[in-house]
């Protein structure tokens, strides 16, 4: 029987060749892998990512601060007076309304036995508290503040024991620099905050209450709700004027038996404040600069002016000539 190399079959030779081919292919693949190495990962652009994060944070911060303000403005627009809705405060929950006679003046030392606290109508001092966006740090005499309401102003009163510094700052933003508004502490107030316009009052617990903006939008200079349309809120210089730096102080004691009653019995109403505003916006037809009217002959915008009873309506302006 043949032995040695001659005894190997053709199939054995073929298998040996296949094994060698596999080993060779494996060595080649291994060498190729070591030569090329693993593909490197893409670098992350951290500066770009950081910039995007900062921009998104700024957008979020702006949205957090601006969106509520725009929302509040949009809500306040719903309470803007119109010919079809002369007193939008009727839609504000909690508003109290009382009809008061106008033009009943008391002297600078007289007290009024007011029926409400803070008062929002009735007899008042002949001199109004300056209400051109004034924030008074101390409580002021109520008889002067009530006269401001008769001119179309909003008076924000707050209890200094119930509103903290942050709350006061929030309220200031509603008043500071805003025409026909004033703000002052009111010791002993039963609520944290009380808003007054002539014949209207709203008491609240929080300076963040959205009804504050609604009340101001509905009643500040609303010619349908206050008597002395066209009257000034500025200080009239001269003897007996209201000193904004040293205003008449608040009197917390109860009015005495000599206080003027709410009906003003025995006091003749000021004729200049009866019958609304005269043409041009000055109450009672008084010439410019006299008490009760706008100083220096100034006028309110046409939309706030109201003709005197029986006076003809002002003619419409002539159309502009065609180009």
Q: What is the pLDDT of residues 20-65, one digit of tens each?
A: 666 666 666 555 555 555 556 678 888 888 888 999 988 888 877 7
Torsion, Cα 248 111 262 155, to 10 degrees, reads 20
Torsion, Cα 184 189 191 194, to 10 degrees, reads -40
Q: Which of 209-218, 241-250, 251-260, 306-315 has the lowest mean pLDDT?
A: 306-315
What's the mean pLDDT in 61-83?
78
The pair phi, psi for residue 313, each rounded to 5°, is: -70, 150
Torsion, Cα 81 87 90 95, to 10 degrees, reads 100
Q: How far apart are CA 62 and CA 50, in angstroms?
A: 18
Strand order, beta sheet including 200-204: 96-97, 200-204, 193-197, 154-158, 181-185, 132-135
**pTM of the entire structure?**
0.67
Instruction: Name residue, tokens 């003003």.
Output: 264
| Residue 102 pLDDT greater than 70, yes or no | yes
Torsion, Cα 91 96 102 107, to 10 degrees, reads -140
H-assigned helices in 263-315: none
pLDDT top residue among 205 and 287: 205
Per residue in 274-296, pLDDT (tens digit) is 654 333 333 433 333 334 444 43
Percent of the chain clearing pLDDT 90 (strictly above): 57
């Amino acid at each position: 029987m043949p032995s040695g190399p001659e005894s190997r079959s053709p199939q054995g030779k073929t298998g040996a060749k296949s094994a060698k081919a596999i080993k060779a292919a494996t060595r080649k693949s291994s060498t190729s892998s070591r030569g090329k190495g693993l593909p490197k990962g893409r670098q992350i652009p951290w500066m770009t990512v950081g910039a995007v994060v900062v921009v998104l944070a700024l957008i979020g911060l702006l949205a957090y601060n601006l969106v509520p303000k725009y929302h509040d403005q949009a809500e306040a627009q719903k309470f803007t007076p119109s010919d079809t809705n002369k007193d939008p405060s009727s839609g504000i929950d909690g508003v109290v309304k009382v009809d008061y006679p106008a033009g009943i003046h008391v002297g600078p030392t007289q007290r009024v036995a007011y029926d409400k606290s803070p008062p929002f109508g009735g007899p008042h001092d002949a001199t109004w508290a300056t209400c051109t966006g004034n924030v008074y740090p101390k409580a002021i005499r109520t008889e002067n503040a009530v006269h401001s309401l008769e001119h179309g102003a909003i008076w924000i009163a707050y209890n200094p024991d119930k509103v903290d510094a942050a709350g006061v700052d929030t309220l200031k933003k509603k008043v500071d620099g805003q025409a026909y508004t004033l703000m002052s502490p009111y010791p002993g107030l039963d609520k944290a905050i009380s808003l007054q316009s002539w014949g209207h009052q709203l008491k609240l617990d929080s300076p963040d209450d959205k009804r504050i903006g609604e009340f101001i939008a509905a009643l500040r200079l609303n010619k349908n709700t206050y008597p002395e349309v066209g009257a000034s809120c500025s200080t009239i210089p001269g003897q007996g004027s209201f000193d904004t730096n040293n205003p008449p102080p608040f009197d917390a004691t109860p009015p005495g038996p000599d206080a003027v009653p709410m009906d003003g019995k025995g006091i003749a109403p000021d004729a200049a404040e009866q019958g609304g505003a005269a043409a041009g916006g000055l109450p009672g037809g008084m010439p410019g600069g006299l008490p009760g009217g706008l100083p220096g002959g100034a006028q309110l915008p046409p939309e706030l002016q109201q003709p005197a009873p029986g006076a003809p309506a002002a003619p419409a302006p002539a159309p502009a000539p065609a180009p």
